[in-house]
Amino acid sequence: MKHRTSIKTILTLLTVSALGTVLAQDMNRTRTEESLRAQQQLQLQLQEQNQIYGYEFMSQAERNTYMERLRQANTEEERNRIRNEHRERMDLRKRALNGVGNLGAGGGTGPGMGGKSPVIIPGPKGGGRH
């Protein structure tokens, strides 16, 4: 009788162990799939940033609306008109936010624009750049 009980116990432990392994594999697969989805989402966002002029001056809702307008346009001419209107709006927004009349003059803190001004610290004989 003891022999049968110990065999049942061993079989139960093996079954539980196997189920635990299957559950752990399933959890790892789920985490991997979630990680891949997050990476794909990030990649799409980066692509969108590179494709939309003035991306940094727009809300997510504005980006979505703009992309939807482009998708619904029937001709390339219509898409170009939408892009040009959008570019003009973003240029105006950029000027307003930066307080700059000339877009080529910098003033922004976007990629490649530096974003730092020299700090002026008054010294013993007046001010100077440091």
Segments making up each domain of the chain, as ranges:
1-51, 56-99
Identify the band that residue 20 occupies on the pLDDT scale cut at 50, 70 and 90: confident
Instruction: List C-alpha distances in Å: 70 to 43, 73, 76, 80, 83.
Output: 20, 5, 9, 9, 8
Name which residue leads in pLDDT, 20 or 112: 20
- Residue 84: predicted pLDDT: 95
This prediction's pTM: 0.43
- Report the share of the chain in percent with pLDDT over 70: 66
Q: What is the distance between the alpha carbons of residues 24 and 32, in angstroms, rounded to a whole number?
A: 12
User: Is 19's pLDDT higher than 60?
Assistant: yes
Identify the band that residue 96 occupies on the pLDDT scale cut at 50, 70 and 90: very high
Q: Which amino acid is present at 126?
A: G
